Chain A
Amino acid sequence: EPEVTQTPSHQVTQMGQEVILRCVPISNHLYFYWYRQILGQKVEFLVSFYNNEISEKSEIFDDQFSVERPDGSNFTLKIRSTKLEDSAMYFCASSERETPGYEQYFGPGTRLTVT
């Protein structure tokens, strides 16, 4: 069964450094998402991406964040200058379409630790 993959599984970085989290969505999917989950808290929506542009973003997704689909398979989340509060699990998701019946499939997540 096709699945969303994410690399790395765990990333440790120092405050102020840039990080890039990588995702390979399911191949025929057209809609891509990033969510995050701070330890012990809810899963929070960050951004959705379709047709090579952001379709929606949350208040969390400020100028420090960016997303890109650099080629036909990868979908990346960049945090320009990490803060301690960026420490979280980051989940990538994808869906074939946005309508019911075409659900979002989530990857296993990248645990980001900012020290």
Chain B
Amino acid sequence: DAKTTQPPSMDCAEGRAANLPCNHSTISGNEYVYWYRQIHSQGPQYIIHGLKNNETNEMASLIITEDRKSSTLILPHATLRDTAVYYCIVRVALGGGGNKLTFGTGTQLKVEL
């Protein structure tokens, strides 16, 4: 799986958009970009994923650059409850019985009043 690079920490004011960047310059054509988050030692929580098109769901938006070498997760109106470690993960959707997630160190997002 391709390696990802994320800033170790970011701050965001409550109510503002949080934009979390991720570099995955070695991504290959069949690899997807996934975002998970982990709130204070709880189990990781899936947020969103994409291949090459921008994606939006009820939690967030994912913007992937045209060359797919980087992406940005956008939380449009961050709240205190969005304070968490956010992980950008690149993986291949393989067949044959399961697909492990390889977590990096992620970005610690702190949302403040």
Partner-B contacts on A (CB < 8 A): 4, 31, 33, 35, 37, 42-45, 48-51, 55-56, 58, 89, 91, 93, 95, 98-100, 103-109
Contact = CB atoms under 8 A, between A and B. Distances in A.
Contacts of A31: 97-99
Contacts of A98: 93-99
Nearest to A105: B46
B100 A48 contact: yes
B38 interface: yes
B21 interface: no
Contacts of A45: 100-102
Interface SS of chain A: strand
Nearest to A4: B43
Interface residues of B, number: 25
Interface of B: 32, 34, 38, 41-46, 49, 51, 87, 93-105
Given A33-B98, A33-B100, A98-B99, A42 B43 contact: no
Given A48-B97, A48-B98, A55-B96, A42 B103 contact: yes
Contacts of A35: 101
